[in-house]
Amino acid sequence: MIQGHRDKQATNGFTPVWMDIAFKERGVKRYGVGECNPRIAEYNESTQLAGYDDKIAWCSSFLNWCMKQSDIAGTRSALARSWLTWGNELAAPIYGCVAVLTADDAVEWKGHVGFFLGSDARNVHLFGGNQLEEVRELAYPLDRVLAYRWP
C-alpha cells in the first residue's frame, strides 16, 4: 500500500496549489524526432533553457513552471539537483513536496525531481515531467531519494 498517496493526510487535507496545476498537465508528452511539443518548450521558458525544445531533460523545467503558475519562485534551473537548496528541507515527506533523486547513474550533477505522492516499502511515487517522456506518475526506488523540500 502506498502511504500518503492522494489521501493528503500528511498535509491535513490541504492540496498544494501546484499539485492541482501539475495534474492538469497529465499526459503532456515529448514529440517524435523532428517535432517539438510547444507545451514542454513553455516549461523550459521557466528555466535557463528558454528556447530549447522537448528533447532535453525537462523534469526541473516542469516543476519550475508549476511553481511559477502558483506564484512561488522555483530554482529557475534545469538541473534537478538545483532543488536541493530550494525552500526548506523536510525530515519526512508530505504530499506535494518536491522530491530530489539521484540519476540512474552515479554522475554527481545528474538527478531527477518530482512531486511526492506517497511511498511504499520499496518505492517513492512521484508526479512529474519527463517521467517516461511525459507528465505522469511513476515509482522510483526509495534509495534514490536525496531530499524532500517545501517552499
Give me the domains of the chain, ranges plus CATH numbers: 9-150 (3.90.1720.10)
Q: Is the pTM of this model over 0.85?
A: yes
CA-to-CA distance for 2 and 23, rounded, in angstroms?
18
Supply the mean pLDDT for the chain.
91
Which pLDDT belongs to residue 53?
86
The pLDDT-based confidence of 12 (bands split at 50, 70, 90) is: low
Average pLDDT of the residues in 51-70: 94
Strand 134-141, strand 88-89: pairing: unpaired
Residue 26 pLDDT greater than 80, yes or no: yes
Q: How far apart are the first and last CA of the chain?
A: 28
Q: Does position 3 have pLDDT exceeding 60, yes or no?
A: no
Q: Which residue has the higher pLDDT, 32 or 54?
A: 32
